[in-house]
């Protein structure tokens, strides 16, 4: 996975970079303008980001304007909505209006700070950016079904032998 982290806060950038290091390589931008420059470069080289994490409240250019600009660049390049880079808004703004506005701007996900690893990974799985892995509860349920099926098969075979 190749991803871009856009945030003016060092702590958030560091958290995302460390949390996702095992999934691929990252690049960092500190504001929306820098993000647009990096995105345009990635598009021109054919190395599109798999996902962009975009803060909303940043100096120079905020995340909403950056989101709109990135989607416009994709459209000009012939990428249909839903076929471009996944964009997840990462922000302290958890109010309905901010969330609604971000999705109207065609973001793919929205995470409210402080970021939690479990929510981050769940969102990435839902967006099919990282592989889905079965939870321990799912693995136990699957093992239980397999054991029950084997037991049923053994019983069927035993009763068939007795005839």
**Predicted TM-score (pTM) of this structure:** 0.79
Q: Are residues 113 and 144 in the same domain?
A: no
Q: Check whether residue 59 and residue 26 sit in a common domain.
A: yes
pLDDT at 113 over 80: yes
Buried b (16+ CB within 10 A) or exposed e, 135-151: eeeeeeeeeeeeeeeee
Number of domains in the chain: 2
Of the pLDDT bands very low, low, confident and very high (cuts 50, 70, 90), residue 131 is confident
- Residue 159, pLDDT > 60, answer no
| Pair (157, 126) in one structural domain | no
The pLDDT of residue 157 is 46
At a CB cut-off of 8 Å and minimum separation 6, what does 74 contact?
Answer: 43, 83, 84, 85
CATH of the domain at 29: 3.40.50.2300
Q: Range of 107's domain?
A: 2-132
**Chain segment 33-69, per-residue pLDDT in tens:** 999 999 999 999 999 999 999 999 999 999 999 999 9
Q: How confident is the model at residue 162 (pLDDT cuts 50, 70, 90)?
A: very low
Same domain flag for 127 and 161: no
What pLDDT score was predicted for residue 15? Answer: 93
Question: In whole angstroms, what separates CA 91 from the centre of its chain?
Answer: 15
153 and 105, same structural domain?
no
Together in a domain, 83 and 146: no
Read off the pLDDT band of 137 (50, 70, 90): low
Summarize the confidence of residues 100-123 as an average pLDDT. Answer: 93
Q: Are residues 18 and 73 located together in one domain of the fold?
A: yes
């Amino acid at each position: 996975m190749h991803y871009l982290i856009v945030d003016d806060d060092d702590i958030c950038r560091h958290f995302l970079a460390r949390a996702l290091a095992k999934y691929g390589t990252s690049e960092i931008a500190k504001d929306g303008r820098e993000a647009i420059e990096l995105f345009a470069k990635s598009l021109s080289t054919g190395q599109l980001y798999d996902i962009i994490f975009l803060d909303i409240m940043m100096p120079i250019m905020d995340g909403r304007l950056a989101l709109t600009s990135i989607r416009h660049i994709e459209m000009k390049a012939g990428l249909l909505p839903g076929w471009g880079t996944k964009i997840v808004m990462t922000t302290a703004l958890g109010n309905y209006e901010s969330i609604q506005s971000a999705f109207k701007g065609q973001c793919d996900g929205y995470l409210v700070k402080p970021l939690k690893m479990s929510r981050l990974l769940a969102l990435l799985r839902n967006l099919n950016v990282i592989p889905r892995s079965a939870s321990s509860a799912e693995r136990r349920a699957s093992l239980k079904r397999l054991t029950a099926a084997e037991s049923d098969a053994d019983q069927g075979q035993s009763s068939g032998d007795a005839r």
